């Protein structure tokens, strides 16, 4: 049963794409065994002895054959010293090793150095080793390890990889090799290091091929960078020589995928070791089959975007593989799914049945097909989406929040080629950055032929939406050929910047590329917008009595479209706008022949039927420079000063006299470096905001000369480390505002 990642792409279009982009095939020709796709199947002997049957599409088969046919290339087995039952011992390991060899699969042996489970909660010595002196204990570890590897070598089933200890974050063979807590002492770390060296030496001196076996050190802190650093920094101080870092990552215990990503990238750079996520899993249901309570039985254990379903299990596994593949310096070399075979049989039963890769009846789930998938060899294209929120009936500011929510179908599902996730929920990672005033932009990657269905969401923070529809825009009519209430983009073979799109605050359907004004070939449109809410609250302005609002200004620089004495541009009250319809908006059309780039247009807002003077009288003249492109001016309160500089919508991030660069590293754990460049002298404010739009830190607030600047932020406020989450860097100068998104993970 072989399936690919191709979904929802019409057959003819797909064939054209594959032949035009790659010439022959959609997948790379690299050997699938280069990336480890492993499974720990230590329960197979016991389940088979109790009558358990595994099948593929209803046909009973050897479970190792099923795994191999679904892309698994490595098998992991755990070894206990002298277990109470006749399983997980050397005799059973030898039998399973022959079966692994017969299937042409590779083999990872996991020494627990215990008679039972060894994990972060217990590292109990084998009964046979109790009461031994430390020197005799070291020798026992050496001799035992050597004996096991010799036995495997003698029957021609030498493992390619050996794991010395299981989840040994707190050490092993307690209390002699215990570390952490009250045992976090130089003496304990030295003893722990010596025990590991004895085990490794036993592997190396077991046989002629012992030196070729890769040695893994396995801990449980997949999502904890601080915990991982603590362990491996101390281990390296003991000069323990090993090849691979092994991590357990179960999302209900070990943090988010973002935290895992950050940890993988940091460990790869810090220790220059290959890394394997050697234990992981995800539930395909929250239901029970037997009377044994399941370890993962609550919806609280799930991650957003990954339901407890076969699809959710597939999405999790696919995304995890992508994260590991994308680890810095290509140090992420694979993963092992823990106990995918652990189905329920009497009297064993299973607390893991809903996390297996087989259904309750023992038939392989479709989620196992993810192991067959290979990296797509079609080059991705960059897509830039631009949004204008001048039509949002709320007071959105540059430090607030705009987001694309939706789904992508085609060669990818949910996760884009650059790793960003797009969903219809709040966890969608396509967050637009402010490009000045009402203009917002985001750039991401798609594969040619992929279809993105989406809508815009706006908010004052991550979860606090604007007042209409809790942040969601109104109904949208997609381009011809598509149906439904959505925006649609189908990626081509070239980088693309989509036409500017406007947010729909109304309850009426709007075309995807609608505009709040008419575009004219011979004229430039300037969309004015003012908020009269404060005047309404003060009692000075009654819309029904004193309205409407006009724009008056300099006739010479506006081609006669504005006038200081006559109201030629009348603004209309925005129905359904915030604060009792407090916004007024309208368009001024200036002939292109009258547009003067270097000369600003002077203007003010004017109350037509004011009982006083009608003018904004507490501020100097407003002004705007025109560029020949239709644009909007970011809303302002009547009679309050603020930036109204025009943004060129066709080139909104280029030609600026300053630039905020992406911070590095990002995501980051302890500190990150923020860089920006200035082409002209200007007053600079560099601030950090959280998702709720609350100011977190002011890094710069001073006049600065042209040049390149760098600031390091330690992710703390008043000496306290900030919470994990998304933050925004705001660089504001006299020429406008730029924003970058960054992710902090503890």
What secondary structure letter does DSSP report for 165? S
Whether the pLDDT of residue 727 is over 90: the answer is no
Region for 14 from its dihedrals, namely left if φ exceeds 0, alpha if ψ lies in -120 to 50, beta otherwise: alpha
Confidence of residue 413 (pLDDT cuts 50, 70, 90): low
Q: What is d(CA 551, CA 545) in angstroms, rounded to the nearest whole number?
A: 18
Catalytic residue among 48, 85, 205, 279: 279
Instruction: Of 459, 390, 388, 387, give the one whose Cα is nearest residue 635.
Output: 390
Range name among 144-148, 250-254, 299-303 with the lowest pLDDT average: 299-303
pLDDT digits (tens, 9 = 90+) for 650-684: 444 433 467 787 777 777 877 888 888 787 888 89
Domain 523-637 class in CATH: mainly beta
> What does the pLDDT average to over 229-245?
97
Range name among 122-126, 297-301, 579-583, 656-660 with the lowest pLDDT average: 656-660
Q: Residue 8 has what pLDDT?
A: 31
Q: Residue 16 has what pLDDT?
A: 33
Confidence of residue 292 (pLDDT cuts 50, 70, 90): very high
Domain 658-744 class in CATH: mainly beta
Confidence of residue 646 (pLDDT cuts 50, 70, 90): very low
Report field, pTM of the whole predicted structure over 0.75: no
Q: What is d(CA 343, CA 25) in angstroms, rounded to the nearest whole number?
A: 37
Q: What is d(CA 402, CA 396) in angstroms, rounded to the nearest whole number?
A: 9
For residue 482, what are its two tokens? 């598509």
> What does the pLDDT average to over 202-227?
96
DSSP count for the chain of H helices, then E strands = 13, 39
pLDDT digits (tens, 9 = 90+) for 245-264: 999 999 999 999 889 988 99
Burial call 616-638: b when 16+ CB within 10 Å, e when fewer: beeeeebbbbbbebbbbbbbbbb
* 3-state secondary structure (DSSP) of residue 582: coil
Instruction: Tell me whether domains 31-372 and 523-637 share a fold.
Output: no
For residue 634, what are its two tokens? 């970011």
Catalytic residue list contains 85: no
Pairing verdict, β 622-624 and 569-573: unpaired
Whether the pLDDT of residue 642 is over 70: the answer is no
Task: Using the Cα atoms of residue 31, residue 33, residue 36 and residue 41 in order, give the sign of their dihedral.
Answer: positive
DSSP states along 172-223? ETBTTEE-SGGG-SHHHHHHHHHHHHHHHHHHHTSSTTGGGSEEEEEES-TT
Whether the pLDDT of residue 521 is over 70: the answer is yes
> What does the pLDDT average to over 153-158?
97
Whether the pLDDT of residue 7 is over 50: the answer is no
Q: What is d(CA 217, CA 710) in angstroms, rounded to the nearest whole number?
A: 38
Q: Residue 692 has what pLDDT?
A: 64
SS (H, E, C) 42-85: CCHHHHHHCCCCCEECCEECCHHHHHHHCCCCEEEEEECCCCCC
pLDDT digits (tens, 9 = 90+) for 551-596: 999 998 899 999 999 999 999 999 989 999 999 999 999 998 887 6
Q: Residue 19 has what pLDDT?
A: 32
More confident residue, 478 or 462: 478
Catalytic residue among 57, 85, 101, 167: 167
For residue 350, what are its two tokens? 């299973």
Whether 730 and 399 have beta carbons less than 8 Å apart is answered as: yes
The percent of residues above 90 in pLDDT, for the chain, comes to 65
Whether the pLDDT of residue 731 is over 80: the answer is yes
Radius of gyration of the chain (CA): 32
Confidence of residue 743 (pLDDT cuts 50, 70, 90): confident
Confidence of residue 6 (pLDDT cuts 50, 70, 90): very low
Q: Residue 679 has what pLDDT?
A: 76
Range name among 16-30, 293-307, 649-663, 677-691 with the lowest pLDDT average: 16-30
What is the helix (H) or strand (E) element at residue 545, kind and residue range?
Answer: helix 543-546
Catalytic residue list contains 279: yes
Domain ranges within the chain, ordered by starting residue: 31-372, 389-490, 523-637, 658-744
Whether the pLDDT of residue 631 is over 80: the answer is yes
CATH of domain 31-372: 3.20.20.80
């Amino acid at each position: 049963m072989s399936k690919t990642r191709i979904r929802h792409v019409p057959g003819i279009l797909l064939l054209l794409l594959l032949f035009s982009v790659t010439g022959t095939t959609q997948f790379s020709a690299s050997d699938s065994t280069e990336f480890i796709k492993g499974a720990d199947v230590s329960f197979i002997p016991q389940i088979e002895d109790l009558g358990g049957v595994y099948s593929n599409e209803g046909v009973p088969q050897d479970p190792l054959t099923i795994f191999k046919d679904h892309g698994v290339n490595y098998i992991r087995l755990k070894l206990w010293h002298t277990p109470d039952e006749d399983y997980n011992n050397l005799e059973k390991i030898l039998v399973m090793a022959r079966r692994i060899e017969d299937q042409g699969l590779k083999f990872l042996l996991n020494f627990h150095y215990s008679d039972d489970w060894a994990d972060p909660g217990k590292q109990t010595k084998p009964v046979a080793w109790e009461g031994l002196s430390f020197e005799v204990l070291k020798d026992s570890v050496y001799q035992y390890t050597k004996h096991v590897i010799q036995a495997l070598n003698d029957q021609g089933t030498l493992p390619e990889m050996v794991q010395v200890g299981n989840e040994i974050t707190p050490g092993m063979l307690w209390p002699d090799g215990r570390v952490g807590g009250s045992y976090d002492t130089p003496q304990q770390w030295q003893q722990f290091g010596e025990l590991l060296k004895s085990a490794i030496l036993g592997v190396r001196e077991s046989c002629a091929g012992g030196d070729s076996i890769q040695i893994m050190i396995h801990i449980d802190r997949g999502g904890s960078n601080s915990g991982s650093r603590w362990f491996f920094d101390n281990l390296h101080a003991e000069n323990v020589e090993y090849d691979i870092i092994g991590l357990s990552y179960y999302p209900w215990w070990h943090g988010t995928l973002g935290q895992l990503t950050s940890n993988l990238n940091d460990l790869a750079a810090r220790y220059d070791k290959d890394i394997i996520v050697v234990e992981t899993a995800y539930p395909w249901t929250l239901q029970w089959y037997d009377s044994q309570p399941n370890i993962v039985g609550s919806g609280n254990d799930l991650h957003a975007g990954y339901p407890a379903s076969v699809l959710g299990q597939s999405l999790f596994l696919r995304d995890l593989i992508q994260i590991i593949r994308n680890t810095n310096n290509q140090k992420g070399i694979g993963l092992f799914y823990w106990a995918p075979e652990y189905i329920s049989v009497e009297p064993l039963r299973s607390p893991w049945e809903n996390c297996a890769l087989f259904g309750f009846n023992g038939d392989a789930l479709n989620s196992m097909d993810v192991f067959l998938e290979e990296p797509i060899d079609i080059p991705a294209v960059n897509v830039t989406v631009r949004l204008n929120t001048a039509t949002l009936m709320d007071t959105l500011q540059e430090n607030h929040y705009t987001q694309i929510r939706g789904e992508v179908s085609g060669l990818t599902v949910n996760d884009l080629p650059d790793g960003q996730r797009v969903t219809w929920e709040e966890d969608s990672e396509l967050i637009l950055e402010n490009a000045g005033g009402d203009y917002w932009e985001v750039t991401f990657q798609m594969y040619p032929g992929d279809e993105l269905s989406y809508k815009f969401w706006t908010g004052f923070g991550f979860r606090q939406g604007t007042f209409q529809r809790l942040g969601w825009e109104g109904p949208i009519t997609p381009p011809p050929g598509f149906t439904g209430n959505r925006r649609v983009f189908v990626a081509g073979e070239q980088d693309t910047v989509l036409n500017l799109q406007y947010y729909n605050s109304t309850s009426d359907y709007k075309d995807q590329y609608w505009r709040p004004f008419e575009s004219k070939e011979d004229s430039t449109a300037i969309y004015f917008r003012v908020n009269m809410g404060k005047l309404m609250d003060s009692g000075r302005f009654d819309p029904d009595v004193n309205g409407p609002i006009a724009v008056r200004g300099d006739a010479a620089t506006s081609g006669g479209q504005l006038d200081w004495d006559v109201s030629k541009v009348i603004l209309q009250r925005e129905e359904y706008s915030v604060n009792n319809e407090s916004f007024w908006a309208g368009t001024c059309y200036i002939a292109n022949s009258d547009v003067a780039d270097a000369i600003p247009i002077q203007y003010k807002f004017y109350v037509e039927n004011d009982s006083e003077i009608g003018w904004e009288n507490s501020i100097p003249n407003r002004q705007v420079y025109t560029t020949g492109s239709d644009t909007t001016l970011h809303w302002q309160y009547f009679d309050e000063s603020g930036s109204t500089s025009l943004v060129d919508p066709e080139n909104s991030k280029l030609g600026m006299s300053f630039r905020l660069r992406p911070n590095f590293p990002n995501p980051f754990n302890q500190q990150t470096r923020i860089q920006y460049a200035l082409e002209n002298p200007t007053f600079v404010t560099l601030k950090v905001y959280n998702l709720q739009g609350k100011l977190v830190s002011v890094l710069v607030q001073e006049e600065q000369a042209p040049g390149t600047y760098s600031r390091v932020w330690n992710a703390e406020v008043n000496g306290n480390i900030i919470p994990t989450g998304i933050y925004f860097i705001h660089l504001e100068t006299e020429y406008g505002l730029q924003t970058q998104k960054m992710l902090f993970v503890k």
